[in-house]
Structure 1
Amino acid sequence: MILGDINTFNEGISASIIASFAVLSFQLIWNLIIKKYYKYRFKNLFGYYENKNLKLVIPELTLRQEVKQLIYKAKKIQNNEYPFKNNSDKHVSSSKLFPYADTKALNYTLSVVAKYIKGNNYTITNDSIKDNLDFSLIAFGGINFYCQYFLSDPDNRFLKIGDNEIIALDNNNTYKIDSDYDYGFIIKTKIKNLPDNTWILIAGLAESGTSGAGWFLSKNWKELSKSFNDKSFAIIVKVRHGSDSSATEVHRISSD
């Protein structure tokens, strides 16, 4: 009787081990499938970068010389000091600045890019590289050279910027900034004669439009990839001032 109980116990242990191993193996295989699926979705939206370098392009600002001289004179600032302070209330010596909203949009987007592209396959740069069009990029901000280049291109069929408004070119609807809401956009496109390169442009009418569009892309890129696959598109988002996470889609345009 005791021997029979031991055999039954051993059989139960063996069955449990086998079942646990089967569940673990299934989970590992399922996780691998999901990982490959989302990598495929990432490539559909952002492009393929195994052998290329993706550039994350942010505009660079320089304080006008006459403004700098005016500030120095008014505040009696020495030439080796710069009229900006950090969080420690110390003067920052820098002749170049980056727009705050654009850096926020960059940070949101980088949280996605870094998961799927190795560090040596993407570069953060400013738009001083504007003489070159032959690479894939994500450009931030409406004043970015690449954003302006595309919006002024005769082949642009998505949207244009008017007087504090975004105009959708498929139906001429307008989205105008007001005291409550800003508007931003995300454009994915291929540049004529450069079909192997993917351009993604993220910008807004004001700061919240830009940073909100970056947030929206970081949270919804999987759905956008599923909806458009590798096609070009534009998304217009509505953002409450000062609240990036309030960004909601109000219009979409496909290249079809």
Structure 2
Amino acid sequence: MDPTMGQTNILALPAPAVTGQAAFGSEEPAVTAAVVDAPATALETPATNYPVGKVDFNQPFEVFSSYDDSVVHSEPRVLAVLAGNSYPVVVVSTNESGDQVVAQFDTDGDSVDGDLKVENVTVGERTMFIVITREGREFGVLDELFGTEGDAFNDHSNDGDFFAVLPITIPATKQAAEIEEESDEDHDEDHHDDTVTSTIEVQPEGSVRVNGFYVQPGDKVSVYRKNRGQRTCTVIKTRDDQWKSLYVQADNGGEEPYWARNVNVKYRIG
């Protein structure tokens, strides 16, 4: 067996190195060989400086299901780092059933068995990528956001109408205030008045800003979900969250409401 693969929970938990064999159930231990300290080359648990790739394990991260983005584990943390392993980062987290699970991840965030993924929790301004299409003199934008430029190219560079990949910036602020100032001069015989009028975009009560537009309970939005595609959903409730702001119910039925990832909310309908 490849010593770097399999038995994740055993590899992740350090144990004292003991040579020889123990005879269970007997008073006399059957250990005749001397105890030798094993070299600590296969397992490291650095206090800081965890591996960094597509995922930076030194920054806040989230563990979720590879098949259902709404199934997110809680309290994830790095348990150990396996030197020389293709999946070096051992992470313990609590699944939706309340059970603690241990899994190994590579620096792209994929688990060794493919069931779980890791992504950094985005705090503050975020850069995403969009695909520009062209047909004749007409340009268009696909309603899909990508985390990296490479992901966008890999998915659409062979499309007949593909034109370019461009970065966009999603602001960290909940709303962007737009202020317009106008000078209105009124001339009287005795005095001169300068009046400045300011208009500010007001966020509707109970709404949140997702991907540049406001959404509130009762609105219809187009949401993508893995293995189910893109469909129309009704917003049940909202919260001010950088990762998942909308609790939605698919209009086609057949599944329970869930917190949709902001990146999968494409646009508001109507």
TMscore range, shorter length: under 0.3
What TM-score comes out, normalization by structure 2 length? 0.22
Normalised by the length of structure 1, the TM-score is 0.23
Greater relative contact order (Cα 8 A, min sep 6): structure 1 or 2?
1
Q: Highest CA radius of gyration, 1 or 2?
A: 2
More strand by share: 2
